[in-house]
Amino acid sequence: MLKILNRLLLEHDGHFIKDLSNIEKNTLNSLTIYSRNELIDKHDLDFITKLINMTELNSVQLVLNRCQSIPKNVFNNFDNLSQLTIASFSGSFEEFNFEYLKNLTTLILEKNELSKLESGIFNGLKNLDKLIFASNKIKLLKGKVFNNLTNLKELNLNKNDILQIENDAFNGLDNLKYLILGSNGIKSFKKNCFIDLKNLSTLDLSYNKMLDFEQNTLNGLINLEHLRLEGNLIETIKANVFNELKNLKQLDLNKNKISKLEDNAFYGLNSLENLFLINNQIETLNQYAFNHLKNLKKLFLYECKVKFIDKNAFAGLINLEYLILEGNQVNFLEANVFNDLKNLKELDLKRNKILELEQNVFAGLINLENLNLGNNDLRLLKASVFSDLENLKSLDISYNKIVTIEDNAFSGLIKLENLDLNNNLIVKLNRFTLNGFGKLKYLNLSTNKINIIEQDTFSGLNNLLGLNLGVNQLIKLEKNIFIQLENLKNLDLNSNKISSLDEDTFTG
């Protein structure tokens, strides 16, 4: 006890002790107690009541290095405590260890050496709201181990060694909202494992070793809104596996080994808004793959090794706003492949292998605002290829191999404000190349091979603010070439081969 008292006084500089004759004046909201003894005696904490006003003490942290045992009645004077943290404990808790903590709302047992949870250890914690049991060595969750925690809202079992969860392990957790089981060794779940969690809103099963996900695993989760399954070993999303999750809004399946989406894989997910499939192995997006996701707003297929997209792959996604296909291996897009995406605002096709854009490839994208085609293998932009994109504001076609831009290639882009064509192989610009850009503000043509800019090339670009022609092969600029750029503020001509300028070059 004396060692604990000495450390306590050092930790708090003794400032909390104002008057030993009147304990009511000695107040602390939180207290940290260190012990390096192998045992804590049942009276080791009794001195606290003789030093401070216990009614004001809300939080206690016990750092129990080397300690193997905690007596049952060690907390008998802490009945007003709302938060208790125990760290560096290598023993096990006995039944009724916490029975005196009637007002405890948060119990943090993180970073200990605890290897088992026995039934009854949480007896008496009728008001507990949050239980954090992360970074321990639990291998088995026994049935009804949390049975008495009827008011628990959050249960964190992250970073344990859990391999098995018995039926009824979550029995009694009628009010649980958040369950975190990430970073364990779980390979599978028994049928109806979560059946008691009617009010659960977030379930984290990330970074386990799940190979499969069977139907009925998620039965009972009628109010689940967020399901995390990233970092597992799942290869196939089977039909109807999520059909119980009527209220799910976000599904994370990143960093698995998914190569197949069965028909009706996402059946029942009527409320889903965000679907993450980043870093998987889905080479083919089959027709109607996402057909049941009527309310989906964001679909992330970043680096999924996608090679082929069926013409009807995105059918049914009538409310989709963001589609991210960056970092795949797509080399061809069929005409009308995005036809159902009437509400799409952003389409990211960066870092694919697209060779050519077919006519009508962007048909249906009437509300698209941002299109990224950077880092592909495009060599030619055909006339009117973007004509369906009447609301487009930003177009990035940088880092391709474009040599030829057909006349009126950009026709229809009446609201475009940003056009990035840097790092291509463009040689010549004429008056039809940039036709119809009345609202364009920024144009980047740097790092091409441009050596000719014909007169009137920039005709109609009255609102242009920034023009980058740096790192090209310009030798000469025509008189009055920029005359219509009356609002231009920034012009970059660095690293060209211009040796002289006419006095009327920058008129306007």
What tens digit of pLDDT does each residue of 164-194 get?
999 899 999 999 999 999 999 999 998 889 9
Q: Tell whether 355 and 416 lie within a shared domain.
A: no
Q: Tell whether 406 and 360 lie within a shared domain.
A: no
* Domain-located, residue 135: no
Interstrand relation of 130-132 and 260-261 (parallel, antiparallel or unpaired): unpaired
Instruction: Give the pLDDT mean for 297-309.
Output: 98
* Domain-located, residue 31: no
Q: Tell whether 485 and 421 lie within a shared domain.
A: yes
The pLDDT > 70 percentage for the chain reads 89
pLDDT surpassing 50 at residue 22: no
pLDDT at 19: 43
pLDDT band at 49 (very low <50, low <70, confident <90, very high): low
Output the domain CATH number for residue 341.
3.80.10.10
Instruction: Give the pLDDT mean for 324-353.
Output: 97
pLDDT surpassing 90 at residue 332: yes
Q: Tell whether 398 and 465 lie within a shared domain.
A: yes
Least confident of 62-76, 82-96, 184-198, 243-257: 62-76
pLDDT at 386: 96
pLDDT band at 16 (very low <50, low <70, confident <90, very high): very low
The residue among 343, 377, 411 that closes a domain is 377
pLDDT tens digit string along 385-444?
A: 999 999 999 999 999 999 999 999 999 999 999 999 999 999 999 888 998 888 999 999
pTM, 2 dp: 0.91
* Domain-located, residue 382: no
Cα–Cα distance for residue pair 249/270, rounded to 1 Å: 9
* Domain-located, residue 338: yes
- Domains in the chain, number: 2
Q: In what helix (H) or strand (E) does residue 8 lie, and over which residues does it extend? A: helix 2-11
Q: Tell whether 311 and 360 lie within a shared domain.
A: yes
Q: Tell whether 360 and 423 lie within a shared domain.
A: no
Do the beta carbons of residue 254 and residue 281 sit within 8 Å? no
Q: Tell whether 432 and 331 lie within a shared domain.
A: no
Q: Tell whether 340 and 369 lie within a shared domain.
A: yes
Write a three-state SS string for 267-292.
Answer: CCCCCCCEEECCCCCCCEECCCCCCC
> At 380, phi and psi to the nearest 5?
-140, 140
pLDDT at 104: 95
Alpha helices in 363-430 (DSSP H): none
The residue among 357, 377, 397 that closes a domain is 377
Q: Tell whether 419 and 501 lie within a shared domain.
A: yes
Interstrand relation of 154-156 and 140-141 (parallel, antiparallel or unpaired): unpaired
DSSP 315: T
pLDDT at 2: 39
pLDDT tens digit string along 88-108?
A: 888 878 777 888 889 999 999
* Domain-located, residue 333: yes
Q: Tell whether 370 and 408 lie within a shared domain.
A: no
The residue among 345, 377, 409 that closes a domain is 377
* Domain-located, residue 149: no
Q: Tell whether 417 and 368 lie within a shared domain.
A: no
pLDDT surpassing 60 at residue 135: yes
Q: Tell whether 419 and 496 lie within a shared domain.
A: yes
* Domain-located, residue 362: yes
* Domain-located, residue 11: no
Q: Residue 353 sits in which domain range?
A: 282-377
Instruction: Give the pLDDT mean for 305-309.
Output: 97
pLDDT surpassing 90 at residue 242: yes
Q: Which long-range contacts (CB under 8 A, 24 or more apart) does 349-354 make?
A: 349/325, 349/373, 349/376, 350/326, 350/374, 350/375, 350/376, 350/396, 351/326, 351/327, 351/375, 351/376, 352/325, 352/326, 352/327, 352/328, 352/376, 353/329, 353/377, 354/330, 354/378
Do the beta carbons of residue 458 and residue 469 sit within 8 Å? no
Do the beta carbons of residue 383 and residue 360 sit within 8 Å? no
Average confidence score pLDDT of the chain? 89
* Max mean pLDDT range (4-18, 70-84, 342-356, 450-464): 342-356
Instruction: Give the pLDDT mean for 484-502.
Output: 91
